[in-house]
């Protein structure tokens, strides 16, 4: 799927996958379709995280993360994903959110890459109140669309790199049973670090900070999952959604934000 055209997402002739068949913790979800670049970027995220978990995270790790996020953002722009996401920022699609499915897709996709996430924690994060979800979408739109998310995330990693020019960050992702575990904000092993705050412009979120950036990444990942599960030919978006949900949790585990505080 080199380009996601509007006709793929619009029109009454499209048949949606039955959501009821996809709900629940015990559902079987097929591996999401991806393209080579998405998989390559995900593999790089795993390599960076594995190296940091073994040796401690240094400025070079955070700069590598920033580079991956920039490449991801450029790819989303070129594929037309940003355009379709921006169009859907105006829609009230809260009723079609499926936190359990979005969590399971994220966990399964990254497990194949060697990163382990807590499914219950992801489900909890995605299960945000309706008004909050819609406010986040509105805030993203006021920033000019989802392209801003990728730039803000890359900038956040660059800032983290500057903070750790001469230090090593030893919190966050850990080696556990042959995999790299990425703790969420409520996981016990994620405690013991102080989130370094700085303000960013988030439109309607008066006085908001980087916490809301991570919440916005989670909401956008959940939105992509809606599109993946309900639109014929859009299964590739599940992996993209999993990428964003994982990115937000990686940032949380590195002490960069806490989505619960948005």
User: Number of helices (H) and strands (E), helices first, in the chain?
Assistant: 10, 3
- Split at pLDDT 50, 70, 90, the class of 176 is confident
At 186 the pLDDT is: 62
In the chain, where are the structural domains located?
32-184+193-261
How far is Cα 63 from Cα 116, in angstroms, rounded to an integer?
A: 22
How far is Cα 213 from Cα 115, in angstroms, rounded to an integer?
A: 22
- Split at pLDDT 50, 70, 90, the class of 134 is very high
How far is Cα 238 from Cα 128, in angstroms, rounded to an integer?
A: 19
Task: Map tokens 């809606």 to a residue.
Answer: 226
How far is Cα 243 from Cα 255, in angstroms, rounded to an integer?
A: 19
pTM, full prediction: 0.82
Lowest mean pLDDT, pick from 27-36, 208-217, 226-235, 250-259 = 27-36
At 104 the pLDDT is: 96
Lowest mean pLDDT, pick from 21-25, 228-232, 258-262 = 21-25
Q: Mean pLDDT over residues 81-88, rounded?
A: 95
């Amino acid at each position: 799927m080199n380009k996601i055209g509007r006709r793929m997402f619009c029109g009454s002739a499209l048949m949606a996958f039955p959501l009821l068949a996809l709900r629940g913790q015990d559902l079987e979800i097929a591996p999401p379709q991806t393209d080579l670049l998405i998989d390559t970027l995900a593999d790089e995220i795993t390599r960076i995280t594995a190296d940091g978990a073994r040796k401690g995270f240094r400025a070079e790790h955070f700069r590598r993360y920033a580079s991956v996020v920039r490449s991801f953002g450029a790819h989303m722009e070129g594929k037309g994903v940003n355009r379709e996401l921006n169009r859907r920022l105006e829609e009230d699609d809260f009723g079609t959110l499926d936190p359990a499915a979005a969590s399971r897709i994220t966990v399964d996709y990254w497990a194949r890459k060697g990163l382990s996430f807590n499914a219950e924690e992801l489900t909890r994060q995605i299960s945000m109140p309706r008004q909050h979800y819609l406010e986040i979408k509105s805030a993203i739109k006021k920033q000019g669309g989802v392209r801003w998310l990728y730039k803000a995330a890359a900038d956040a990693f660059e800032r983290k790199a500057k903070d750790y020019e001469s230090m090593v960050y030893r919190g966050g992702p850990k080696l556990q049973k042959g995999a790299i575990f990425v703790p969420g904000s409520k996981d016990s092993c994620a405690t013991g670090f102080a989130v370094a705050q700085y303000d960013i412009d988030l439109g309607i979120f008066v006085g908001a900070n980087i916490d809301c950036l991570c919440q916005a990444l989670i909401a956008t990942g959940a939105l992509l999952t809606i599109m993946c599960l309900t639109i014929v030919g859009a299964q590739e978006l599940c992996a993209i959604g999993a990428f964003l949900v994982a990115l937000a949790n990686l940032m949380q585990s590195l002490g960069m934000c806490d989505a619960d505080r948005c």
